[in-house]
């Protein structure tokens, strides 16, 4: 998968303006609207709902692309600093940097901890 460039993200943001990003439930509603709009004999309202859903999905895509770019940039910055001997960053530093730039992994840590605990109790780790 090729990530969007910063220029593409800016252009998309300009097109989308103040459209609201789809929440998880809206993703399912939009996909359902696309499905209904694609059926033979779909009414105009179904097509309109699909078009509105597409805008909110595009806004969600843009938010995901922005977060993805932030993660990639943060990892690259820390790796280059390590490679040039400017510092010796570790995974805890990476986590702190990601949190600083707005990428909150606390829920992911909880899930990973639960999985690790389960694996330990089964003797897998």
Has residue 90 been placed in a domain?
no
Has residue 102 been placed in a domain?
no
pLDDT tier at 109, thresholds 50, 70, 90: very high
Has residue 122 been placed in a domain?
no
DSSP 39-92: STT--HHHHHHHHHHHHHHHHHHHHHHHHHHHHHHHHHHHHHHHHTTS----HH
Inter-CA distances, 106 with 3, 24, 103, 110, 111, Å: 25, 19, 9, 6, 9
pLDDT tier at 124, thresholds 50, 70, 90: low
Number of domains present in the structure of the chain? 1
Domain limits for position 11? 1-65
Has residue 20 been placed in a domain?
yes
- What is the reported pLDDT for 125? 57
Has residue 112 been placed in a domain?
no
Has residue 22 been placed in a domain?
yes
Q: How far is CA 116 from the centre of its chain?
A: 24
Has residue 83 been placed in a domain?
no
Q: What is the largest CA-CA distance in the chain?
A: 65
Q: Tell me what the mean pLDDT of segment 40-45 comes to.
A: 85
CA–CA distance, 51 with 69 (Å, rounded to integer) = 27
Higher pLDDT, 123 or 24: 24
Has residue 118 been placed in a domain?
no
* Mean pLDDT, the chain, whole residue set: 91
């Amino acid at each position: 998968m090729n990530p969007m460039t910063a220029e593409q993200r800016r252009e998309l943001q300009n097109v989308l303006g103040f459209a609201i990003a789809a929440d998880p439930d809206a993703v399912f509603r939009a996909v359902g609207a696309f499905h209904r709009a694609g059926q033979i004999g779909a009414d105009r309202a179904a097509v309109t709902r699909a078009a509105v859903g597409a805008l909110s999905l595009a806004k969600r895509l843009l938010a995901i692309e922005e977060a993805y770019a932030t993660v990639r940039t943060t990892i690259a910055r820390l790796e280059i600093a390590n490679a040039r001997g400017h510092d010796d960053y570790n995974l805890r530093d990476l986590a702190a940097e990601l949190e600083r730039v707005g990428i909150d992994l606390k829920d992911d840590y909880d899930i990973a901890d639960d999985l690790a605990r389960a694996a330990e109790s089964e003797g897998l780790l």
